[in-house]
């Protein structure tokens, strides 16, 4: 049949192209978050710190940096579980108040990308979050230490210069709201230039140390559901004020 082999080859080639295009589209759907609908509510990106297992491999502390840090040292004992519970409660409160929420992890393991703080920041960047809240609990060799603190990025050209001012404003509002809601000791704000999750963020970002897991009394509070709800409501209140949704 004249032309038959050429039609067959073209058909196979066509299906290969369609299959390749379909696969590429699938990969793109995974890597790129869908664009929000016009007029959609702001999105708050919650990042419950650490995971069930440490990740001792390293990553650059900032874009183009030769300085590398461990991706996840493990945190304080029990921290990963506690902060995940707080994040899930905060998600409920924020969604009930009309905000959109994304979480870097919803289970015990952190599985995004290569499993580091670069990937946590990029997750929130891709979603163009109005605010990234990194939720942690502290630890100390001094069991008497207690209280809550909020960290924000230090200014550095090319890394954090675009998010420094809104991050500082967010830190003030979240710290104030958290302390008012929980009654925790106010340890204030701390500027940090060494945190990978800050240096890779292209959206306003803060890290809230909700209390000390190493203080027996504070640990009991942090592991209690009523206190976790208090923290969640404090974080939500601070986020709303930052977003201009409440006075």
DSSP assignments along 142-174, one per residue: -TT---EEEEEEPP-TTTTTTTHHHHHHHHHHH
**What confidence tier does 27 reach under pLDDT thresholds 50, 70, 90?**
very low
Among 37-46, 56-65, 205-214, which is the least confidently predicted range? 37-46
Mean per-residue pLDDT over the chain, rounded: 88
**What confidence tier does 33 reach under pLDDT thresholds 50, 70, 90?**
low
Give 133-184 pLDDT, tens digit per residue. Answer: 999 999 999 999 999 999 999 999 999 999 999 999 999 999 999 999 999 9
Asked if pLDDT for residue 18 goes beyond 50, the answer is no
**What confidence tier does 220 reach under pLDDT thresholds 50, 70, 90?**
very high
Largest CA distance in the chain: 89
Asked if pLDDT for residue 28 goes beyond 50, the answer is no
For residue 94, the tally of other CB atoms under 10 A from its CB is 24
For residue 12, the tally of other CB atoms under 10 A from its CB is 10
Query: What is the per-residue pLDDT for 10?
Result: 31
Query: What is the per-residue pLDDT for 38?
Result: 65
CA angle (213, 218, 224) in 5-degree steps:
95
Query: What is the per-residue pLDDT for 15?
Result: 39
**What confidence tier does 35 reach under pLDDT thresholds 50, 70, 90?**
low
Query: What is the per-residue pLDDT for 167?
Result: 98
3-state percent helix, strand, coil for the chain, nearest multiple of 5: 40, 20, 40
Asked if pLDDT for residue 222 goes beyond 70, the answer is yes
């Amino acid at each position: 049949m004249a032309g038959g082999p050429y039609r067959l080859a073209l058909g196979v080639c066509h299906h290969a192209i369609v299959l390749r295009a379909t696969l590429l589209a699938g990969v793109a759907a995974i890597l790129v978050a869908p664009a929000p609908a016009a007029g959609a509510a702001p999105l708050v990106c919650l990042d419950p710190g650490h995971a069930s297992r440490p990740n001792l491999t390293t990553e650059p502390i900032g874009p183009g940096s030769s300085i590398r840090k461990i991706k996840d040292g493990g945190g304080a004992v029990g921290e990963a579980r506690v902060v995940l519970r707080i994040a899930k409660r905060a998600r409920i409160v924020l969604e009930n108040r009309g905000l959109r929420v994304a979480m870097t992890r919803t289970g015990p393991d952190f599985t995004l990308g290569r499993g580091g703080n670069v990937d946590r920041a990029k997750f929130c960047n891709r979603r163009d979050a109005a605010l990234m809240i990194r939720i942690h609990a502290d630890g100390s060799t001094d069991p008497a230490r207690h209280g809550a603190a909020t960290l924000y990025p230090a200014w550095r050209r090319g890394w954090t210069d675009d998010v420094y001012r809104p991050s500082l404003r967010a830190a003030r509002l979240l710290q104030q709201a958290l302390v008012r809601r929980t009654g925790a000791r106010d340890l204030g704000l701390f500027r940090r230039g060494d945190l990978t999750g800050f240096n890779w963020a292209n959206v306003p970002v803060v890290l809230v140390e909700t209390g000390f897991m190493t203080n027996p009394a504070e640990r009991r509070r942090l592991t209690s559901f009523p206190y976790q709800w208090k923290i969640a409501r404090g974080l939500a209140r601070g986020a709303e004020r930052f977003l201009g949704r409440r006075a």
